[in-house]
Chain A
Amino acid sequence: MDASTPAIEAKGLCRRFGRAWALAGVDLHIPAGKAVIVAGRNGSGKSTLLRVLAGALRPDRGSLRVFGEEALRDRETLRRQVGLLAHASYTYDSLSALQNLQVAARMLGIPADRKSLLPPLEEVGLAHRADDPIHGYSAGMRRRLAFARLLLQSPSIVLLDEPYAQLDPPGFRFVDRLILRLLGEGRTVLVASHHLEECAKVGDLGVVLEAGRVAWSGDAARLPLEVVDPAQAAREAV
C-alpha cells in the first residue's frame, strides 16, 4: 500500500430512508492515520454516514474505497478493516459482560478465556461486574462495555459515534486516551460527536455535515462552531 493512499475515499454517497435522504451525496477523502471529527446538527447524517462506512448500511448510490480497494461489493472485507462504536451496544442483555466479550472473541477467533478477556474489561472499569448480566447495567456501563468490545477487534479504521454520550468525566478522559492510543498505533479514527471541545483535543481534521452533505471540511481547529452549535459560538464570542 502506498503511504499516500487514503484510508477512506467516498464519492457521492447517498442513502435514503423512505422519502428522506439521510445522505445526499457525501464526498470524503480521509488520510490514513488521522483523527477526523464529523460534526453536524441532529439529523444531519452523521450516524448514517458512519454506518455506511462500517458496512452496516448499503448506500443507495455512490462509491467507497477503503485503503484504495473497492469496498461496497465485498462488505465482509470492508468489515474486517472497520470497527464501529454505534448508538446500540451490540450486546445481549441476558448475558454477562464477560460472556458478551466471549461471543465476540469466538467470532474473531481470538482467545476467549476469562484471563484474556478481563484486561479489556479492566481497561473500561467493568472488571468488578464482569459476571453480572448486563440488563442491570446503567447506560454508561453499557457504553463502556461497547468500548471493551471494540478494543477486542483492533480494526484499521475506528468509527466512534457519539463516544462521549452517557459517560461520566472519567469516561471522557478514557475516550480521549483511547483515541490518542489508536492514533499512536497508526489507526484512522472518525469521531461523530456534539462534544466539539473534547474532540478538538484529539482531532486533526474536521467535516461538518448539513442535510446529508458535506457543508465544510478542513482543519479540526477551524471547525465552524456557528454551523454546529450557534449557542455555544455566541457564548464564546462574548
Chain B
Amino acid sequence: MSAPLRARDRASGPAEARPAAPRGVAATRPRGKPSAGPAAQLLAAFRKDLLLSWRSRAQAMAVVVFGATALLLLSFAVGPDAASLRRFAGGFLWVALLFSSTLALAESFRAEGEQKALEGLLLLAASPVSLFYGKALANWLQLLLVGIGLLPILVVLYDPDLSRMPALAGLLALGSAALSAPGTLYAGMASQVRAQQVLLPLLLFPLVVPVLLAAVKASSLLLLGDPMGQAGAWALLLAAFNGIYWPLCGLLFSTVIEE
C-alpha cells in the first residue's frame, strides 16, 4: 500500500459541516431495511407484472394475433376437409399456444432487464421464490387469456363441437399452468444471455413435450368425443406435471437469476 502522496486542505471538512448525530446513534446500528413477508412480496410481484403487461398491452395483443396466425396457417396445411380440420383442432390449438407462449414469456423478462429492475428487487431483500411465483402466476393468467382468445378463432377455422368449449377452457387453465412454471424459469435463464429469443424455445420445448402430449390428447378427446373416459387421465397427467414443476421451478429460480 502506497503512502499518501499529498495532503489536501480540508479546513471546512466534514466534521464541521456535519450535523451532530443524536446521542447514542453512533454506538447503535440502524435497524436496516424493513421487509414484507413472502406472501406480500408474491402479491406485490404479481401486481407489478400485471401492471407491466397492461402497460405493454399492444405486445400482448401481438401475441394473440401471432397465435391466431399460426392457427390459420396450420389450417392451410390440412386443407378444406372439415373432418380432418376437426380431428387436428386440439393439436393445432396447443401448438399455436406453445409458440405464442415463448413470445409472452420472453416479454415478461424484457422490462426486468432494461434498468436491471430484477436485480433491484433482489437488493430490496425480496425473496426470489416470491418473485418467481408472482411472475409465474401473472404469466399463467396471460397464457390462459391468450388460449381463451384463440378459442373463437379455433371455432371459426376448425368448426369443433361448441358444447365442449367450457371443458376445453378448463383444460387450457391446466395446460397453460404447465407451460408457465418452467417457461418462467427458462425465460429468466434466457434473459441473462444475448440470444434469449433462440435459447428460450430450445430449452422449453423439450421439457414440455409431456405437457403437449397430454394436452393434445385430452383436447382431442374432448372435441371428438370420449367414449372411454380417457380425457380425465390425461388431465391428471397435466396436474401431476404442475405438481412437480411448480415447486421445483420455485426452488431453482434463485439459482438461475442470482449472480
Contact = CB atoms under 8 A, between A and B. Distances in A.
Interface size on A, as a range, is 35 or more
Interface in A179-213: 180-181, 183-187, 200-204
26 contacts: A32-B26, A56-B122, A56-B259, A58-B259, A75-B258, A79-B124, A80-B32, A83-B33, A89-B115, A90-B121, A91-B115, A91-B120, A92-B52, A93-B111, A107-B41, A107-B44, A108-B33, A110-B34, A186-B22, A204-B14, A217-B1, A220-B10, A221-B8, A222-B7, A225-B6, A233-B6
A127 to B, nearest CB: 21
A227 interface: yes
Given A103-B48, A222-B4, 20 more contacts: A55-B122, A75-B258, A83-B33, A84-B123, A91-B120, A92-B114, A92-B117, A107-B44, A108-B36, A110-B34, A142-B115, A180-B19, A185-B25, A201-B17, A216-B1, A216-B3, A220-B14, A224-B4, A224-B6, A225-B6
A227 B5 contact: yes
Interface stretch (A38-46, A113-121, A153-161, A162-170): A153-161
B28 A180 contact: no
A149 B121 CA distance: 11
Contacts of A99: 51
A83 B123 CA distance: 7
Interface string B30-43: 11111111001101
A231 interface: no
Interface of B: 1-10, 12-14, 17-22, 25-37, 40-41, 43-45, 47-48, 51-52, 55-56, 111, 114-117, 119-127, 258-259
A200 B12 CA distance: 9
A76 B37 contact: no
Nearest to A86: B116
Contact of A106 (B4, B6, B19, B36): B36
Interface of A: 1, 3, 7, 32-33, 35, 54-58, 67, 75-76, 79-84, 86, 88-95, 99, 103-104, 106-110, 133, 142, 149, 153-156, 180-181, 183-187, 200-204, 214-227, 233
Contacts of A224: 2, 4-6
Interface SS of chain B? loop
B25 A33 contact: yes
B33 A221 contact: no
Nearest to A187: B30
Contacts, number: 196
Contacts of A214: 1
B224 to A, nearest CB: 43
A91 B112 CA distance: 8
Contact of A80 (B14, B17, B33, B44): B33
Given A33-B25, A221-B7, A106 B44 contact: yes
Contacts of A56: 119, 122-123, 259
A106 B40 contact: yes
Given A222-B4, A227-B2, A58 B25 contact: no
